[in-house]
Structure 1
Amino acid sequence: MTDMQMPSMEDFEALLNETMSEDSQFEGQVVKGTVTAIENDLAVIDVGLKAEGRVPLREFSVPGAPVELSVGDNVEVFVDRVENANGEAVLSRDKARREESWNHLETAYEKESHVKGVIFGRVKGGFTVDLNGAVAFLPGSQVDIRPVRDVTPLMNIPQPFQILKMDRRRGNIVVSRRAVLEETRAEQRAELLDRLKEGDVVDGVVKNVTEYGAFVDLGGIDGLLHVTDMAWKRVNHPSDVVTIGETVKVQIIRVNQDSQRISLGMKQLEADPWEGIDAKYPVGAKFNGTVTNITDYGAFVELEAGVEGLVHVSEMSWVKKNVHPGKIVSTSQEVEVMVLEVDPDKRRISLGLKQCLENPWEAFAEKFPPDSEVEGEIKNITEFGLFVGLEFDVDGMVHMSDIGWDTAGEEAIAKFSKGDHVKAKVLDVDVEKERISLGMKQLEGDPFADVAAKKKGEIVTCTVTEVNDGGIEVSIADGYTAFIRRSDLARDRGDQRPDRFAVGDKVDALVTNVDRGQRRVSLSIKHWKWPKKKPL
C-alpha cells in the first residue's frame, strides 16, 4: 500500500460547498431529466443532481387524456429544491409545464393567435381552462356565441381559445372560446355569402323560432325565414309550420353583402295561388270558404290555401248594423260568400256575406207594398220619430208628422214609449237606401178633409169643447177643432165674453178663411149674426 496524502477536513468541506454551490444554481429552473423508475403513483426522475426526485404521476397527465409515461422517458421538470430533509431533490412537472406554457402563451398573446386548452372546472362567473399547465379563466359569456345552458359536453375536450388578457406577474389569464367561434363563423359566412345566390334552393336546419319567423342554419350562416314567406296561406305562428332541429328546403330570396343578412322563403317553392286569380274568382260568383280571422272591421275568409278575401263589416248582414263581426261569424266557420271585387296587383279580394242571403228589404217590399197595414214593437225613439221593428227583422220609421192628425212634434212623440206595440200603414219602401216610411195617422180618416171642403162665407154648426179668456174652442167635424177668438164672439165689446158659452153648447159660425197648407179654419160668430152693411 503506497502512501497517499489524505485531504484535510477543510479541503473536504470546501469541495462539498463547491459541489453544493454548483447544484444550487438549478433551483428555480426547468431542467431535463430521465425517468428511472415508476413506484406506485410516483415517477423517480434523475436530473443529474446528487439525489433523484419523485414527482406524482398525475402531474404528467393532461385533462381529458390518460397518463402516458414509461421508464427511460426524458421529461422536463422544475427544480424547487436541490435537496430536502430526506436528501431528495424536490421536483415539479406542473411548474415546469406552467413555465413552458407561460412562455408559449405570451408569444401567442402578442401574435393574437389561438391556443389549445381544456375546460376542466367551474368557478364563480365562469370556468377554469388548462392551457398546457397554465390555468386560465373562461367567463360564462365567452363560452359560446349563444348562451349555453349545459357546458358539460364541452368539458375535458381539447379545443382552441383566444387570450383576451394576461398578467404573468399576477398569474392571471382570461380566455374566450366565443371569439374563436365568431372568427371561424365570420370566415364561413364570408365564404358562404360568396357562394349563395338569389334564387338558389338549399337545405337548412331550423335553429330558432320566434314570433316573426325562424332562423335557419345554412351550414355556418343563418338566414331568416319570415313568417310571411313560410306559406301562401295565413300562418298564425311560425311554430305551426316548422320546428327546431327540422331540416327544411328553402329558397334564397335576398342576400345583403353589407349586413351579411340572408332572407329565405318556403312558399316560393310552390305555385302562387294568386296567378290568374280574377279568372278563378269572377265578380258576382259565389263560393264556400272558411273564416280564418276576425277583426273589428270584418272577417277574413279562406277560399283556398293561400287565397283569402275580406268580408267587410258592412257586407256581413243586411240588418245587423254596428255589430262586431265576431257576433255574426266565428273562426273556422264554413260560410258562403260572393266575390265583390278582385285586385290581382294588390292581392286583395272583397267578399260579401249578406249577398248570399235573402235581402229582407226586397222581401218586405214584395209582401208589404205601399198602403199595406203592418204592426210591430217600438224599438227606438228619437227626436224626429219612432222606429218600429217589422217582419223580416227590418225597422220602419214613423216620422213625427205622421203620428197624428192633430198633434205633431214632441207632443206626438211623447205619447209613446219604447216597447209599445203599434200599428201603422206603409207609406214608402226604398230598397236601395234600406228605408221604410210608415204612418200611423193614415190609419184614420183625415178630419180636416171635410172642413177643407168648406168655403169662405159658409155657415157651420159647431160644438163648444173648451172655454177660456181668449175665446172658445169648438168642434166642427169628428176629431177636428177650431178656435173662435174673443173679438169674433159678438159685435159689442160688452158681449164679447167667453163665459157666455158653456161646453157642449151648439153655435153657428161663419167660415172666414180656410188655410189648407196650415190645416186651419178661421170662424166668426160676429160676422155671421152682424154682417157688415153694404154701402148704399
Structure 2
Amino acid sequence: MDNFLDNESTEEEVEKDSVTGESMAELMDLYEESFKRFAEGEVVNGKIISVDKDHVLVDIGYKSEGQIRIREFEVDGEVTAKVGDTVEVMVEWWDDENEVVVLSKEKAEKVKVWDDIKKRHEADETIAGTITNRVKGGFSVDIGVQAFLPGSQADLRPIRNLDEMVGKEFDFKILKYNRKRSNIVLSRRVLLEEEREKKRSETLASIHEGKVVPGIVKNLTEYGVFVDLGGVDGLLHITDISWGRVKHPSELFTVGDEINVKILSLDLERERVSLGMKQLTEDPWATAIDKYPVGSRISGKVVSLTDYGAFVELEEGIEGLIHVSEMSWTRKIRHPSKVVSVGEIVDAIVLDIKPENRRISLGMKQAAPNPWDVISDKYPVGTTIEGKIKNITDFGLFIGIDEGIDGLVHISDISWTKRIKHPSEIYKKGDVIQAIVLEIDKDQERFSLGVKQLQADPWDTVAERYEVGKEITGTVTNVTDFGVFVELEEGIEGLVHVSEISKEKIKTPVGQFEVGQMLTAKVMNINSEERRIGLSIKRLDMEDDQELLTEYVNNMGPVTSSFGEILRENLQEKLNNDEQ
C-alpha cells in the first residue's frame, strides 16, 4: 500500500513538475522573444493607446508601452496621431531604469523606404520623387529619404533654367545606393532615353517620304531647325521653312513649338530625315506670271539692299529686283541706300518676269513721268534760264534746272573771247548765273547751255571795226618763234607773223619784243569764222618808205635830162612793187 501510495504520489509530483516545466518553458520563450523583438532597429506594428503633449504611447504587444516623440506626428503644426490608429515603429532603445521602450515612427518609415529602394534597385524598377532644391552639380530629390540627381542625368539635353525643375515630381531610376552612408544616386535621363528609343522605333516604322507629321522644335541654328518627330530628329533647313525670305529661324520659332512638317527625304540607315514646311503650301511662283504681268504696277516692301539694287517683296516668296539704273530718270544712283531703305514701301512697274528663274525685274522710275519727256516743251532752245551752279569740272559748269536735271555749260560756251583754262577761274559752286538753252538731247539725256550766247559775238563785227589796211595799236600778249600776238581789245587778238615783222629776214622775234609792250601794226587780213586777224609791221614800214619816196618825187623839179626821167620811172616802179 505504502509503496502504492508512494508510487501514486510520485506520479502526481511528476505530472505537476511536468506542467510547471512547460509553463516555465513558455515563459522563457516569451522572455527571449521579448528581447529579440526589442532589438535596436527592429520595425514592428503598434497601436496608439494615448496621446499627450509630449509623447504618443504605442502598444507593441509587450509588457511595457513604447514612447514616440509627439513632433513625429506633427504636420503643419497639427498632431495627426489618434488613439486606436495602427502605426509602424522602430525600436530605438530600451530604458531599463524606467522600463520604457523608446520608439520612432520616422525611422521606421526610413527603414521601410530603404527596403523599398533595395527592392526596386534589384528589380530595376523606377521610384517616384520630388526635386526639392538645387545643389552643387545637380539636384536634391525627396524619395522618402534624400537622394542626389546629377545635372547630367536630369534630362536628355542640358537644361537652360535649372530652377524650373525644382518642385516638380518625376520618376527616376536608382543608379546606385549605399545605406550605411545614406547615399543614393538617381537618373531621369535613363528613363527618357528608354522612352525615346521606344518612340524612335515606332516613328521610323511609321514615317515615309511625302508624309506630313507633327513635331516639336528641339533646337534652332543659323541654318535651320531640328524637330523631334518622336525619338527621331529631323532637320528643317532654313531654305525649306518658307517660300519667303527668312534671316534666322528664331524669327518664326521657339524651342518647344509644335509644328507640322513634310518628310522630304529619309535615310533609315543613317537615320537622317530632311523636312520641309513651305512644301505644305503652293509655290507662289507657279502663278506669278498671271499675277504680275509685264507693265503692271506693284507695291512692295524693300527687304534687302545690295550695291547693284534693292530687293522688293511683292508677297511671301516672291521678290523683285530694282536695279540702281531703274531708280531715277535723272540722278546717277551710286548705291540704292541713297534712295530707299529696308522696310520702306515703294511703287514700281514690272519690267520683266521669268518664273523659271524665279526672277522679276522692276523699275521704280517708270512709276513716275520721265521729266525728259516734257523738258523740251518747258525749256525750248533759246530760252534764258537762271540756276545755281551745282558742280564745276575741267570741261564746264553744271547748272541745276529742274529736280534731277542739270544743264551743262561747256567751257567753250562761257566766253566768246577769253581764254579760260578752268571754269573755276570765273565761277564758284553755288553761284547763281543765267544761261541760254542751246540743245536738248532726250535720248542721251543732255541739256546744253551757253553763257556767252547771252551777248553778241564780237567777232561778228570785227571786220567792220578793224578793216584791212587800218593801222592799229595794241599790247603784246605773247611772243613765239612764229610771231607776236597783239591784243586789240579784250578777247580780240591779232598775229604779226615772223615774216611780217621786218623787211629784213629774221629767224625769231623772241628777244625783240616783250609781253605788255605797245605795238603798232597794219591790218593785213581778217577771218571771222576762224577768229584770226593778220597784222604786219613790215607793211607799215614800207608804207612809210613809200610816202617818203612819193614826197621826194613830187618835190623834184622839171625833168631836164634823160637821167632824171629814168630815176623818176625807177622810183615809181619800186613804189608800185611795194604796194603789191
Matched letter for residue 46 of structure 1: I
Partners of 2:57 and 2:331 lie apart in 1 by 96
Task: State the alpha-carbon separation in 2 of the partners of residues 444 and 127 from structure 1.
Answer: 98
Pick from 478, 482, 486: which aligns with 2:494?
A: 482
> Could you tell me how far apart the structure 2 residues matched to 1:342 and 1:508 are?
75
SS in 2 for 1:274: helix
Q: Residue 81 of structure 1 corresponds to which residue in structure 2? A: 93
1:295 to 305, 309, 314: 305
Q: Secondary structure at the match of 1:404?
A: coil
Rounded to whole Å, the distance in 2 between the matches of 1:61 and 1:161 is: 29
How far, CA to CA, are the matches of 1:270 and 1:514 in structure 2? 82
1:188 corresponds to which of 193, 199, 211: 199
SS at match of 1:194: helix
Judging changes above 3 Å, is the alpha-carbon distance between structure 1 residues 110 and 256 closer, same or farther for their aligned structure 2 residues? farther
CA shift, 1:386, in A, is: 1.4
Paired residue type of 2:320 = G
Correspondent of 1:387 among 374, 380, 398: 398
Matches within 5 A, 1:501-520: 507-510=521-524
Q: Report deviation, 1:407.
A: 3.5
Distance 2:368 2:463 in 1: 49
TM alignment of 1:33-72, pairs within 5 A: 33-37=44-48, 39-40=50-51, 42=56, 44=58, 46=60, 51=64, 53-55=66-68
Which residue number in structure 2 is paired with residue 397 of structure 1? 408
Asked if 2 retains the 8 angstrom alpha-carbon contact of 1:402 and 1:442, the reply is yes
Where does residue 315 of structure 1 map in the other structure?
326
- Quick one: structure 1 residues 345 and 153, their matched pair in 2 at CA, closer, same or farther if it must change by over 3 Å? farther
By how many angstroms is 1:311 displaced?
Answer: 1.8
CA distance in 1, matches of 2:232, 2:135: 32
Counterpart Cα distance in 1 of 2:260 and 2:107 = 55
Identify the residue that residue 296 of structure 2 maps to in structure 1: 286
* Offset, 1:318: 1.4
Taking a change above 3 Å as real, the CA distance of residues 515 and 103 of structure 1, as seen in their structure-2 partners, is: farther
Equivalent residue for 2:389, pick from 378, 381, 385: 378
Query: Distance between the aligned counterparts of 1:412 and 1:150, measured in 2?
Result: 77
CA distance in structure 2 between the aligned counterparts of 1:515 and 1:108, rounded to whole angstroms: 122
Give the alignment's TM-score, normalised by structure 1: 0.71
Q: CA contact under 8 A between 2:216 and 2:259: conserved in structure 1?
A: yes
8 Å contact 2:409–2:450 — kept in the other structure? yes
Q: CA distance change for structure 1 residues 71 and 25 in 2, over 3 Å: closer, same or farther?
A: closer
Distance 1:420 1:460, change over 3 A: farther
1:128 aligns with 2:128: no
Structure 1 412/25 Cα, relative in aligned 2: closer, same or farther at 3 Å?
closer
Is the CA contact 2:48–2:86 (under 8 Å) kept in the aligned structure 1?
A: no
The answer to whether the 8 Å contact 1:254/1:262 transfers is yes
1:275 CA displacement: 0.2
**Contact 2:478-2:486 within 8 A present in 1 as well:** no
The Cα offsets for residues 18-72 of structure 1, whole Å up to 9 and x where unpaired, read as 96799369635545x343445448473537x76553457997999xxxx999979
User: 1:210 Cα deviation (Å)?
Assistant: 8.9
The aligned residue for residue 463 of structure 1 is 472
Whether the 8 Å contact between 1:293 and 1:331 is mirrored in structure 2 is: yes
After superposition, the Cα gap between the structure-2 partners of 1:462 and 1:397, relative to the gap in structure 1 and judged at 3 Å, is: farther
SS of alignment partner, residue 389 of structure 2: strand
Q: Aligned equivalents of 2:349 and 2:93: distance in 1?
A: 99
Q: Which residue of 1 aligns with 2:367?
A: 356
Show the counterpart of 1:417.
428
What are the residue-to-residue correspondences of 1:151-166 with 2, within 5 Å? 151=165, 154=168, 157=169, 159-164=170-175, 166=177
Distance 1:369 1:397, change over 3 A: same
Cα deviation, residue 328, structure 1: 3.9
State the shift of 1:416 in Å: 0.9
Task: Quote the offset at 1:193 in angstroms.
Answer: 3.8
Question: Is 1:525 the counterpart of 2:534 in the alignment?
Answer: no
Letter in 2 for 1:286: S
> Within the alignment, does 1:274 sit opposite 2:285 as a pair?
yes
Residue from 431, 436, 441 that aligns with 2:447: 436
2:361 paired with 1:347:
no
Q: Which amino acid aligns with 1:463?
A: I
| 1:337 aligned residue | 348
Tell me: CA distance 1:117–1:214, structure 2 relative to 1, closer, same or farther (3 Å): same
Question: What pairs with 1:198-213 in structure 2 (closer than 5 Å)?
Answer: 198-203=209-214
Q: Give the drift of 1:415.
A: 0.6
Report the RMSD for the aligned CA atoms in angstroms.
5.4
Aligned to 2:328, the other structure's residue is in SS state coil
Distance 1:215 1:428, change over 3 A: same
- The one-letter code sitting in structure 2 at the alignment partner of 1:53 is G
Higher mean alpha-carbon deviation, 260-269 vs 311-320, is at 260-269
User: In the alignment, which residue of structure 1 is the partner of 2:9?
Assistant: none
Q: Output the CA distance in 2 between the equivalents of 1:497 and 1:208.
A: 96
Aligned residues: 506
Q: Does the Cα contact within 8 Å between 1:289 and 1:304 map onto a contact in 2?
A: no
| TM superposition shift of 1:274 | 0.7
Question: 1:236 deviation in Å?
Answer: 7.9
Report the 3-state secondary structure (helix = DSSP H, G, I; strand = E; otherwise coil) of the residue aligned with 2:100: coil
Structure 1: which amino acid aligns with 2:537?
I
TM-superposed CA distance for 1:350, in Å, is: 1.6
Say if 1:167 and 1:438 are closer, same or farther in 2 by CA, change over 3 A. farther
Q: Is the 8 A contact 2:265 2:275 kept in 1?
A: yes
Closer/same/farther in 2, CA of residues 433 and 142 from structure 1, 3 Å limit: farther
SS in 2 for 1:289: strand
Task: Determine if contact 1:35/1:71 at 8 Å carries over to the other structure.
Answer: no
Cα 1:165/1:430, change in 2 over 3 Å: farther
Q: Rate the CA distance shift 1:486–1:286 in 2: closer, same or farther, 3 A.
A: same
2:286 is paired with a residue of what secondary structure? Answer: coil
Per-residue deviation at 1:352?
A: 0.5
Distance 1:243 1:120 in 2: 26
Shift of 1:109: 5.7
Percent same amino acid among aligned pairs? 39
Question: Which whole-Å CA distance do the structure 1 matches of 2:74 and 2:151 have between them?
Answer: 26
CA distance in 1, matches of 2:245, 2:305: 14
Please say if residues 462 and 528 of structure 2, whose CA atoms lie closer than 8 Å, have aligned partners that are also in contact: no
CA spacing shift, 1:464–1:310, aligned 2, 3 Å: same
Rate the CA distance shift 1:60–1:497 in 2: closer, same or farther, 3 A: closer
- Cα deviation for residue 526 of structure 1 reads 1.5
Greater alpha carbon shift after TM alignment, 86-95 vs 204-213: 204-213
Any residues of structure 2 matched to 1:86-165 within 5 Å, and which? 86-92=98-104, 94-96=106-108, 98-99=110-111, 101-102=113-114, 105=117, 113-119=124-130, 121-122=132-133, 124-125=135-136, 127-131=139-143, 133-139=144-150, 142-144=153-155, 146=159, 147=161, 149-151=163-165, 154=168, 157=169, 159-164=170-175
2-structure distance, mates of 1:256, 1:87: 77
Q: Which amino acid aligns with 1:295?
A: L
Map 1:218-257 → 2, pairs under 5 A: 229=240, 231-233=242-244, 249-254=260-265
TM-score by length of 2: 0.67
TM-superposed CA distance for 1:355, in Å, is 1.6
